[in-house]
Chains A and B, each alone.
Chain A
Amino acid sequence: MTTLTLNRLSQGECATIMALDASAELDQRLVALGLRVGKSVRLLRRARFGGPLHVRVGTTELMLRAREAICIQLLREAPSS
């Protein structure tokens, strides 16, 4: 098991949210969008040229910049290849 932040996830990969490490305000927004501790999040794709990440958590899909994704600590279940 390895820990990593959301921006390090590779395309198509899934991991469990361990902690949210943002300002209180951003934390609240992330929780409201479904990024809660214990939930599984999948990286669907990244936009070109350092653009936002497209992720799915539960039934919600959302986009966020790497700057925000770095605040989300994940736990990867399977060892990465």
Chain B
Amino acid sequence: MYVYILGGFLGSGKTSLLMKLASMYSERKEKVAIIVNEAGEIGVDGATLKAQGYDAIELPSGCICCTLSGSLTNALINIKNDIDPDVIIIEPTGLALPNKVKDIVHKSCIDEDADIIIGIADIQRFNDLIKKKEEFFTRQMTGSDFILINKSDLATPEQINGATSWLKERFPAKDIVPVSVKDGTNLDRVYEMMQ
């Protein structure tokens, strides 16, 4: 059983990527369970996923890397016991720190084969984000096994190169992959990088 944690700021494309991955695993006839976290009391994505037939649990009203850590542990244990999936995909809130989520997953003792963090950077708002929240964004990308620069269909090559250079400077050992979840650019490469 593999656990994937999608890390990235609000609106970076985590939910869109989650649905692509869930669809990909379903086509491979692998059992997928999804945990979606929403910081506010009201969530939208969990119901949408359930309506599309996915086993999805929504954890609203807090952040699973801090206030809802107990809820995340319980959800993981229940999923393991009730569904025993091949893959669990966790989408924390866009204000979470993914490496903290990974710690909680590991401490939940669900006997997973690997915990993998996929970092997602939104090229469209990249400059605004590093201008306003550089430290927080850097912390979000820290711990990623690889980083996707999403929405590449909306950016120029110069913008993508600029973001890639910025990320490479801070994370020289990580693969940085420009993708477009919307039109599928480079998603095949992402699937190959995943187990």
Q: Bound pair: A and B?
A: no
- Residues of A bordering B, CB below 8 Å: none
Using a CB–CB cutoff of 8 Å, the interface residues on chain B facing chain A are none
